[in-house]
Amino acid sequence: MLLSDLTADIEGLLDGNQVDPEVKRVIHDSREIIEGDIFCCLRGETTDGHNYIQEAIDSGASALLVEEVSGFNIPTFLVGNVRAVLPRVSSRIVGNPSKEINVVGVTGTNGKTSVVSMLAEILRTHGTSTATIGTLTGMLTTPESPELQRELRKYCSDGVEVVAMEVSSHSLVQKRVSETNFSSVAFTNLSHDHLDFHGTMEDYYLAKGLLFTGEFSERAVITIDSEHGRSYFEKAISSGMEVEALSTKNRNVAFTQKSSSFDWRGERVTIPLGGPFAYSNALVSAEIAIQLGLGVTEVIDGLNSLNGIPGRFEPLLITQDTSAIIDYAHTPSALAELLRGCRKIVAGRIILVFGCGGERDSEKRPLMGEVASLGADVNILTSDNPRGEDAKKIISEIASGMSVKPQVIEVDRRKAIEQAFNEAESGDLLVVAGRGHEEYQEIDGKKIPFSDKTVLLDVVSKASSSGER
């Protein structure tokens, strides 16, 4: 595509060499540039793409999208905000794929991954080719717009009919999903998280609400059990959207470690997923499926055949009479709900292993400690993904919110899991929270392979082979 076509109807100044080059791809990472790409200079918290222009030119960039005059003799499109323009050129260069495929966007503090996964399974049960984008796909929860649009184009080419994707608050503020047409959007819940980025709960709330302005979709499923949800519902209605207002209350819910039952649309539904979250996530996915054209019976058939979601209330039998749960709960509200749910199904004690991530929302750390001290019988504090922070400092901040001091502080997460296993007695439930499906820890800028599930199974295996259990 010619640069002039790519940037048509975008206000900006084309300076430098006035040739009109062919642009093959839209790229924001200079390390990925090949001949014929336009390099889009994004400003981040710690990096600035403008500092890598020469590197991009040396790699074959045919043009630049910038916020300041570069001084390089290369076709340059100068705009006030590269991030605001990036979605349009990203979508345009691959032929606006979201206009050719059904894209569903799910936002909320907790439950996005589960809803997306459940919806995909329901649709696949009835032969609908479905793909997902989000936490479990190895990308950012919501990729930057060039990656997102290329992924959507690939799915179009592969014959995928529906793409279910997670939509983060970051992506809405940073306009990653602008120029994406959604067949339906959904809201799960809102609680304390990501305040390192948003600053306040009000700004976090406003960020999520951008998805329900009518800009992205004509249809929505909104959980209205909270003031936030009811506010989004009103916003969506006033924007002319067709909205399904969903309450998860009064559903006659019953659950175990491995199954959940609840009422939905006049039917009693049982799904092969346990824990306190499964039913509410299933309800959201069910209503989205209805909006996409499935009937109630078809949706229930899909719900009946759901598979477990990695790291989401994932049960493990560690001895003949002792179980464990691996869960991604990493916010105060999610951890509280997790522990309340565990209390309903455990005969003995709850032994909790958890930490908090580094360089992320430090305000929630004492809140997590408070929740843990109230909800678990034995608390073992450990590292999560400390990143560049001191893990001991993070643990100390968690402990500062605890009304009862933690029984164990062990920075090494593997040793912490071992101690929890050794502590467990008949009837106890071991809960390892915070990381869920993740396959590595981030420590001092390095990604070190680490899976809570794998480590726990290894601990169990070694204890069994040694005759200790």
**Per-residue model confidence (pLDDT) at position 16:** 58
Residue 76 · residue 67 · CB < 8 Å: no
Q: What angle do CA 44, 47, 50 make, to 5 degrees?
A: 95
What's the CA gap between 148 and 127, in Å, rounded?
24
Tokens (6 digits) for 246: 């969903």
Q: Is 466 exposed, middle or buried (0-12, 13-18, 19+ CB in 10 A)?
A: exposed
Res. 350 pLDDT band, cuts 50 70 90: very high
Residue 169 · residue 200 · CB < 8 Å: no
**Per-residue model confidence (pLDDT) at position 9:** 87
Q: pLDDT by residue (tens digit) across 273-285?
A: 999 999 999 999 9
What's the CA gap between 389 and 358, in Å, rounded?
5
What's the CA gap between 433 and 338, in Å, rounded?
9
Nearest to 64 by CA among 15, 2, 11, 10: 15
Q: pLDDT by residue (tens digit) across 94-118?
A: 999 999 999 999 999 999 999 999 9
What's the CA gap between 279 and 263, in Å, rounded?
9
Least confident of 32-41, 84-93, 178-187, 460-469: 460-469
Positive or negative CA dihedral for 452, 132, 255, 335? Answer: positive
Q: pLDDT by residue (tens digit) across 212-253?
A: 999 999 999 999 999 999 999 999 999 999 999 999 999 999
Q: pLDDT by residue (tens digit) across 403-443?
A: 999 999 999 999 999 999 999 999 999 999 999 999 999 99
**Per-residue model confidence (pLDDT) at position 197:** 76
Model-wide pTM > 0.95? no
Nearest to 7 by CA among 60, 53, 61, 65: 65
Res. 466 pLDDT band, cuts 50 70 90: confident
Q: pLDDT by residue (tens digit) across 10-46?
A: 888 776 556 889 999 999 999 999 999 999 999 987 8
Mean per-residue pLDDT of the chain: 94
**Per-residue model confidence (pLDDT) at position 464:** 82
What's the CA gap between 201 and 192, in Å, rounded?
7
Nearest to 278 by CA among 233, 337, 330, 228: 337
Look up residue 76 and give its amino acid: T
Place of tokens 């793909």: 131
Looking at the chain, the number of H-run helices and the number of E-run strands are 16, 22
What's the CA gap between 386 and 388, in Å, rounded?
6
DSSP states of 225-244 as a string? Answer: SSHHHHHHHHHHHHTT-EEE
Relative to beta strand 76-78, strand 13-15 is: antiparallel
Q: Which domains does the chain have, with CATH numbers?
A: 3-82 (3.40.1390.10), 97-304 (3.40.1190.10), 314-466 (3.90.190.20)
What's the CA gap between 82 and 41, in Å, rounded?
7
User: Which distant-in-sequence residues (6+ apart) come within 8 Å of 26 by Cβ?
Assistant: 6, 37, 38, 40, 86, 89, 90, 93, 146, 149
Q: What angle do CA 114, 306, 347 make, to 5 degrees?
A: 80
**Per-residue model confidence (pLDDT) at position 18:** 67
What's the CA gap between 391 and 100, in Å, rounded?
47
Coil, strand, or helix at residue 296?
A: helix
Q: pLDDT by residue (tens digit) across 124-166?
A: 999 999 999 998 886 668 999 999 999 999 999 999 999 999 9
Res. 73 pLDDT band, cuts 50 70 90: confident
Residue 332 · residue 191 · CB < 8 Å: yes
